[in-house]
Structure 1
Amino acid sequence: MPQQKNFVTMPAQHQNKQPGIESLMNPLPQFEDPNYKGSEKLKGKNILITGGDSGIGRAVSIAFAKEGANIAIAYLDEDGDANETKQRVEQEGVKCVLLPGDLSNEQHCKDIVEETVRQLGSLHVLVNNVAQQYPQQGLEYITAEQLEKTFRINIFSYFHVTKAALSHLKQGDVIINTASIVAYEGNETLIDYSATKGAIVAFTRSLSQSLVQKGIRVNGVAPGPIWTPLIPSSFDEKKVSQFGSNVPMQRPGQPYELAPAYVYLASGDSTYVTGQMIHVNGGVIVNG
């Protein structure tokens, strides 16, 4: 494993636009374990990842590529991050398709699925991962506009992309949804964001029951504090400097530390697992 510094705090920093730019972060997130060796667990699989250009999505894209999968990455407009991820993915000898655009738009959600199938030939695994968050000091500060924006990206896109993907998914295929620890613990400054993550948990469980007879598995990952571009683009400098210090491991997680959970759920290692959440959160005990 890469040597981990025992971060209790991170350098103070802030970015003005969500979902953030990875190349501007200090320190840069660790998106890859250089000692990770794939074993063809996903060889020949075609996978669509929303928010796959940076952060958790980048780490998952690279890990999937190491396992032999072709990757389609949907992202907003962070072309620099997306092209860096594409270059790294293609170094594994697989295909990588970039799909920029606004996932709050229902038609675009449909379009990325069809473009994935057109360019890669089929779709075997869908990873719904895109998210935005806008901290506020209380419910009274959350405008109707912010509420709608947060829900459209964080949960509506999951519905729309998944619905479009269902006609392409077959027995043995997989859907993975990224939730969050805040779905279980709540967060006083992320009320609307936490609500969307709770919705993702319920969506995952209900969809798993709906699709179980078709042989399509649906699971999720609930990350704790992970060092991604969403953090400096969401919080002020003081909050960023304290990020991750409140979990038992007393540091934020790195994106590569989540990737094996997604590989497990996408691969044949988890054929008896559906409707579940894997908690990767630095030691916080969660029941649910």
Structure 2
Amino acid sequence: MTPGDNGASPPEDDDPFGYLYADGQARGAQPPSGGGYGYPNSVSRVRAVGERTYGQQVSYGQPPQAAYGQGAPQQGSHGQPSAHYQAPETLPGGAQAGRPPARPTSGRRGPNTKGLLIGAVAVVAAVVIGIGIAMINGHTDDDKSGNQAGTSPTQPQPHSPSPTSSGKPTPGELPKVDGADKSLQLAGGAAGASDVSGARSADGSYVGGLNQVGASVTWTVSDIPEDGPYTLFVNYSTSGQDQSMSVTVNGKPYGGKLGLKNWRSAPDGAFDKGWTKSYAWLTLQKGSNTIAVSCQPGDKCNVLIDQMWIKKGQVTS
């Protein structure tokens, strides 16, 4: 083929802006009027909004027929829509008014935020419950330690014994004295000692040196509650043969001897095995009284005395 003018171009080859160029003008292109491309016999493909009808065929260059019972469309002014424009939702099969478009779904799921929230709430609840239990237990433990005695017994604290004071008993008790108490008056060779074991006194001391005539132990008893019968108890040790000594109360002889038998059957000289007790029934007056245990002619006084005490009435223990 040779180059040349092949005549009018088909509509699809028309340049809508041909009138702007020299060759287009030479071919007769003119500015469009009425919606054409600008070339002679060109086909106008521009339609006003709303001119498209459904179910009808429209020929190029012919006015469209009325659609759905309405009159022929009117050409709107430039920049304004046709008066016969209908929104898609008003047409049959169009979108429904007020319904949002469906959300596209994909195969992937988002994070399980509901499960994470439940897990966080469970952890917080567990922490709160643990703190509450700890506080309750702590409070309960404080109450127990303050109001109840411990399960372990308390060990007694060691202390140094002190001799019992003569003549001044503790409230509710009658007087009691140890053999080495300074309130005792020792005479005639009697003296305190602690060589022999087994004495019941607080410090293990006793009065010895009584095995000679004239030896005596005198005890001034205070705080006797009333006149009447009382019992004098003497804790002593003897060995070998039975012994006996004289007793005086407020300077008056007791009606008999104070029996000091070898109830333990201790061998002669084994004073550590002969510790026992004896008693004498006395009549005392209210207040202060002086009691003396002495070795008089005819007495057997090979004894050690470590304690004396008073009980009300005539008793044996």
Q: Tell me if both proteins adopt one fold, taking TM over 0.5 as the criterion.
A: no
Which structure is larger by alpha-carbon Rg, 1 or 2? 2
Structure richer in helix, relative to its length: 1
Structure richer in strand, relative to its length: 2
What TM-score range do you get, normalising by the shorter chain? Answer: under 0.3
TM-score, normalization by structure 2 = 0.21
TM-score, normalization by structure 1 = 0.22
